Structure formats: structure tokens, C-alpha cells
Amino acid sequence: MSPSVDFECLVRSHYRDLYHFAFSLVRNPSEASDLVQETFHIWAKKGTQLREQRSAKSWLFTTLHRLFLQACRHQTRFPEIELTEAQGELPDASVDPAAKLDSEAVLKALEELDPGHRAPLALYYLEDYSYREIAGILEVPLGTVQSRISRGKARLLEKLTGSPGANVSEGGAK
Amino acid sequence: MTSREAREILKTYRPGIDFHDPAFHEAVAQARRDPDLAAWVRNQDALYQGIRSQLKDVPVPEDLAAKILTSHRPRWSGREMLQLAAAVAILAAVAAFWLQERRHPATFADYRTSMAALVSKKYPMGLETPDLERARKFLANNQSPSDYVLPAALKSAPLLGCATLSWGANPVSLLCFRQKDGSGLWLFVTEHPSLRGLPASVEPEFSQTNGLITAGWRDGGKIYLMASLGGPDRLAPYLRE
């Protein structure tokens, strides 16, 4: 298979997933498109030695995330917001919370998280990666990813349901 | 493990994805034993799926893939394009000559028509340079006539570049100049003593060919053909010694 076919195949296979990841990070269509294009641009320059599709996809996510972090470092509009260590319990959704969700609300809630929590949470929701794979993509220890997802999810649900530490109305496990 | 402990662990559990993760095995087993915990897991999963689908429903720009592919499609380099285009032009000229030769012996008029037709369309430049000596060297390196003598007046016209062509088995050098009004001025140089109807001397012979005015002359074993849009007055200023 020629490199050009590889590249086209790679783009068509992954650009949507990458865009969704990028959009969940920046919540801006043009910035997300730029991140995806820049990611593939870097691939075109030096990523062709990766022949395995799954490795390639992880590589693309890692590269896009690095670009995102670089952009964050250059933009003061992404202040680091430390989540408190004492998150307490994750908020529990009440009756059929999924039905009340809308894309805008989810993205807005995600955007309000600091970048360090946004990226693992986006991969957690968007992709079928294991925690270990997410850690590899984001280049952080497994424990860090686990805690960021846990805290990030707590904060996200809190924003979506507006109920920190709420109990499950239909009788959750006690 | 109690159900409460299991619930803490299962708060980040994704049933379809984390099933094989040993970190969740014990908690999942507890959920199988506790119907309330199982219901809570289902509720959490519904919430997870809801958020997931909302994030995945974000529309992707329709032209994004095309943009990426267009901007990174492997391209010919400029040099490769020139070489390819030159090769195509040479093959076309050879083919045209061969077909003509089969019908009747080549004449200077045939040559003139072919060359005029060539520059009437887009044609490839082998070397883009304003430097006459660089062009001469390029032509020499490509076994194309290079020991030509340019009319003195022509040397003052800005050179755009040159190309190596072939007409029949004979190499042809093409020098491209720009006239004051921006239009092109072309000079073909070849050696083809067997051509019939060659210009008799160094005195230019004018002819209208394919919408171009051409002037042909012979000098020192070389056959020169100059071409431009317009009438003879367009060539005259460049033919002066």
C-alpha cells in the first residue's frame, strides 16, 4: 500500500473522532478544525512510520492533545483551576438524567473544567479506550488519569445536574 | 466488598468498555448480587451513554477531510512537474513529427507550425531564469543547441526561461522572453539540415502561423525561429543586430 493511500485512509478513518475530541477540548469549530488539520499535518511530516492503525489513532490523539496543551500555554484564557481534593461523593443523577441532556450543556460543562481534567474526560466519554490507554495517550500516569476522570466526572455531573452529592432518587445502593 | 464500596468504584465504570478491567471485577460481582446496585449501575450507564452521544453528535465540518487531504496530498515538486511536462511535450513533438514524416518529408513550414502550436498553448519551461548564460548552460547540459547567436536587440528583452524540445530526432532549444507589454516572445533554435524549404539566409522570413507572427532565418548551421503574437512589427525590434 502506498503512503498516499495510507494517509487518505487514515484521515477518513479518524478525522471525525479527532474532531469530536478537539471540539470537546476547545468548543470552537474553527479551533477544533485547526487542531485536527495540524495533527494530520504533523503525521504527514513524520508519522508515517507507524503502520498499525490502532497505534496510529493513539498517536493522533496524543499529538492533538499536545497541540491543545501548547495552545493552552499560549492563551491566558485557560487559567488553571484546581479542583479541591475533597470532592465528596460523585453526584448521582436522578430519574433519567440522560433525557435532560443537550449537547450545548454537556460541552459547556466540559469547557468549564480545567484542561487537565477535560482531556481525560473527553476520551473517557468519546472513545472506547481503557484507562491505561488514556493514560498512554495523555502521557500521564494511570493513577493520575483515574483520579482526573473521577474528579472531572464529578464536577461535570455536578454542573449538569446541579446537585453536588445528590442521592439517587430511585434508591441507590447504600 | 460492601455495596457502598462497590458503588464508589463503579462510579467511573463503563459497562461495555471496562468489563475486562480487573479493577472493576469485584465491584461488578457485587452489583450482580445486589439488585439495587445493579439498577444504579444501569442508571449511571444511561447517563454515560447520554453524555457520550451528545458529544458524538457534534457536527463535523463537511469539508474537513477534503481540506486535510488537499493540503497534504503528495505533490510533485516544481522541478518534477517541469521535468514531467517537458517530457510530455517532447513526446508529443516526437509523435507529431513521426506522423508527419510518414505522410511526407518534413519541411520548415511543418516545423514552424509545430513550434507555433506549441507556444500557442500552455507549455512547460525546463528552467525559469532571467539569466541568459544560465539558460545556455542548461540547454547545453541537456544536449540541446546552445551555441546560438542572439540578435543584439533580443538580449535586452527580459528572459523568462528556457526549455528543451525535440522535433523529430532533432533537439530544439526554446528561449522565452517577455515583451514590454508583457506578452511572450519565443525563440526556437535547432539544427535540421535535411528540412526542406529552410530560410535561405540570415535575412528573416516572416510568416503568419497559428495566429502568431514568426520570423525564420539561418545562421552558422543553426535554424532560428522567432515567434510573437501580432504582426511583423512586433518582431522587428528584436531582430536588430
- Alpha-carbon separation of residue B174 from A70, A139, B127, B231 (angstroms): 52, 59, 10, 21
Domains in chain A, number = 2
B57 reaches A (C-beta below 8 A): yes
Contact: A150, B43; criterion CB under 8 Å: no
- The distance of A20 to chain B (nearest Cα, Å) reads 6
Locate the chain B residue with the closest alpha carbon to A129.
B17
DSSP string, B115-161: HHHHHHS----SEE-S-HHHHHHHHHHTTS-------GGGGGSPEEE
For residue A90, what pLDDT is reported? 44
Asked if B90 and B174 touch (Cβ cutoff 8 Å), the reply is: no
- Alpha-carbon separation of residue A157 from A25, A84, A114 (angstroms): 17, 16, 15
For residues A93-103, give the mean pLDDT: 55
| CATH class of the structural domain B78-239 | alpha beta
- Give B71's pLDDT tier (boundaries 50, 70, 90): confident
List the domain boundaries for chain B: 3-56, 78-239
Write down the mean pLDDT value for chain B: 85
DSSP string, B89-128: HHHHHHHHHHHHHHHS--BHHHHHHHHHHHHHS----SEE
Contact: B71, A41; criterion CB under 8 Å: yes
For residue B199, the SS3 value is coil
Residue A168 has pLDDT above 80, yes or no: no
| Separation between Cα atoms, residue B128 and residue B217, nearest integer Å | 26
Q: Are residues A68 and A103 in the same domain?
A: no
- Percent of chain A's residues with pLDDT above 90: 38
Locate the chain A residue with the closest alpha carbon to B40.
A172
Residue A148 has pLDDT above 90, yes or no: yes
Interface of A with B in 83-102 (CB under 8 A): 89-90, 92-93, 96-99, 101-102
- Give B1's pLDDT tier (boundaries 50, 70, 90): confident
> Of A13, A43, A74, which residue constitutes the final position of a domain?
A74
Kindly state whether residue A125 falls inside one of the protein's structural domains.
yes
The CATH code of the domain that includes A105 is 1.10.10.10
| Separation between Cα atoms, residue B119 and residue A141, nearest integer Å | 66
- The distance of A141 to chain B (nearest Cα, Å) reads 16
Expressed as residue numbers, the domain containing A152 is 97-161
Model ipTM value: 0.77
Phi/psi zone of residue B226: left (φ > 0), alpha (ψ -120 to 50 degrees), beta?
A: beta
